[in-house]
Amino acid sequence: MHTKTTRFGEGLRVASNWPKVSLFPNRLAVPALLILPIVILTMTGCGSNYSNPDTGSKEHPLLAIRVTPSSLPAMALAATAQLSAGAGYGGYPGGISYQDVTGSATWATSDRAVATVNNGLVTSTGNGSAKISAVFGGKSGSMTVFVGIPQYVTITPAGPFSLSATRETDFFATETFADGGTLDVSGPATWTATPDGVIDIYPYLGGHANLLAPGTVTVTATLDSGMSGSVEVTVVP
């Protein structure tokens, strides 16, 4: 029997006496087959475990942005300081877990005449104070930088303190700048109380003190720059 052949496609021969079968009887099947993998991939990505790198996941949502350090000593002009931004995700056994997003966050300054910021690197440009903020995943965190020489240091509280009410207290040292901005420097300050015997103050514990006996003492906080502030404190029975 003589078999006639016809060309089907490139380099493919099919016997003409075979039953003719349409590869795609329904033309709608072709685009449907092309769309199906996309639908499957899309549905896979919408599961409950889907995680957005910015906002987290259902199990570990983004809760807060933390800028560190939270405070800096007053900066000199044309100085630099590196800040970091941490994204805090919830749902962990220990509470919030922070991940470094310094390079991914959007940084901003409230006053470019005082300080600029680029990927967390702060550069002082003029005297005063400026708020530095980091935004990531719809959340933000901030801290304030101070530039220039503070005018004075204030120590609080001044008392009086009653031994019958408490045996411990905390003093605070605050720098005040020309623009009215203030900076808590209790931590880096070195503390003293004179004369001895009335208040026992820890030199490097941020102003924490024990009240010992009635009397009057002078509490002083001294900074590395040499600037200091003092207050006269009275302790009563």
In sequence order, the β-bridge partners of residue 152 are 176
The Cα 29–Cα 13 span in angstroms is 25
Residues 210 and 169 in one domain: yes
Look at the chain and report how many structural domains it folds into: 2
pTM metric for this prediction: 0.58
Range of the domain at 182: 152-236
pLDDT tens-digit readout, 16-35: 454 554 544 555 444 544 44
Residues 163 and 201 in one domain: yes
* pLDDT at 91 (0 to 100): 86
* pLDDT at 53 (0 to 100): 60
The Cα 157–Cα 154 span in angstroms is 9
pLDDT tens-digit readout, 87-110: 999 988 888 899 999 999 999 999
The Cα 199–Cα 173 span in angstroms is 17
Query: How would you write the pLDDT of the chain (237 residues) with one tens digit per residue?
Result: 444 444 444 444 444 454 554 544 555 444 544 444 444 444 344 444 444 567 767 788 999 999 999 988 889 889 999 999 999 999 888 888 999 999 999 999 999 999 999 999 999 999 888 999 999 999 999 999 999 888 899 999 998 999 999 999 999 999 998 778 888 999 999 999 999 999 999 999 999 999 999 999 999 999 988 899 999 999 999
Residues 211 and 177 in one domain: yes
* pLDDT at 180 (0 to 100): 83
Residues 168 and 221 in one domain: yes
* pLDDT at 46 (0 to 100): 43
- CATH number, domain of 80, equals 2.60.40.1080
Burial 12-41 (b: 16+ CB within 10 A, else e): eeeeeeeeeeeeeeeeeeeeeeeeeeeeee
20 found inside a domain = no
- At 50, list the tokens: 């889907």
